[in-house]
Structure 1
């Protein structure tokens, strides 16, 4: 039975994983594994048709990646998103470059150069943008104080968080809370 690993852009949450698994199953493939940004499938009685898969993924807002460098960029993005969205930064006792290099399995300097060339921003800037989106999310939920948010996301202080937030959004966190409608972006659109 032929199997293949697929790399899928914009697949950044559990709902995305579920949609991808359902669509691949609907197409008649055995879904062996689904993770953030990737899925492994096996053909069951037919060959794997990448054009068919690409069309179904596109219909659901995803892109099938086939270039190795593009796949690496997506792995870096997913590592950053996972770091911020799922684990938080407060409990990590390693720096982000070590985390990303370990998660992707390649030298950070290479990944950083590749990312900057393809995306037009540095990994560090992408990380900051993702952190700010997470801050926005937590501000909208209104369950944590700014001090708790700063700690959870690994900021050295509330002032550091506030300064970075204002630099990126043009608003203070408290002003953002007042005018929060239409200020958040989906995490796959953060640097656009």
Structure 2
């Protein structure tokens, strides 16, 4: 028999690896693993209370509530889109992909996270901009183009609005101020 575990803050491949290693350490057999979701082989020796504590120590959380699960699924879908370079994400398409009504998802997300879906997506994109700036492989215009902004001034205004500094000021920082994806909001 299989059991699905939904895990909050499991948003990257390193998270998958960390959770996978933890489950192996706990003696829990994995059937499949993907961002935010692990299917395990049910076994009478599986200690889910111990697993939950261990996950919490690593910054993860078992999701019990169905609304929390949906919000986490939204985050994962948006993160996947931004990581693929699909930054002109149409939020209604994400809702359709999830088989849900956009208005319902938007309201639920805002209630849960205290930020709109649109602003969350902007924050994801700004973290991607920070990554590009740190890599120093693209100039600001190229970054704007790669993230589907109409022009670099629109990106510059959005960047300053979110971070409180210009992209040039950010580039000149000695220590970059980036957030991990699971810490956005």
Alpha-carbon RMSD across the aligned residues, in angstroms, is: 1.6
1:99 Cα deviation (Å)?
3.2
Change in CA separation of 1:138 and 1:180 when aligned onto 2, cut-off 3 Å: farther
Change in CA separation of 1:180 and 1:151 when aligned onto 2, cut-off 3 Å: farther
Distance 2:148 2:32 in 1: 31
User: Where do residues 1-192 of structure 1 align in structure 2 (5 Å cutoff)?
Assistant: 2-44=1-43, 46=44, 48-85=46-83, 87-89=84-86, 95-179=89-173, 181-191=175-185
Provide the secondary structure at the position in 2 that maps to 1:33: strand
The 8 Å contact of residues 11 and 76 in structure 2, kept in 1 or not, is answered as yes
Q: How many residues align?
A: 185
Tell me, which stretches of 5 or more residues in structure 2 are unaligned?
Answer: none
Deviation string, structure 1 residues 130-183 (Cα, Å, up to 9, x no partner)? 111110111011111212211221211111111100111111111110015141
Distance 2:68 2:179 in 1: 22
Tell me, which stretches of 5 or more residues in structure 1 are unaligned?
Answer: none
TM-score (norm. length: structure 1): 0.90
TM-score (norm. length: structure 2): 0.93
The 8 Å contact of residues 28 and 43 in structure 1, kept in 2 or not, is answered as no
The 8 Å contact of residues 79 and 103 in structure 1, kept in 2 or not, is answered as no
Structure 1 runs (4+) greater than 3 angstroms displaced: none
Distance 2:97 2:6 in 1: 15
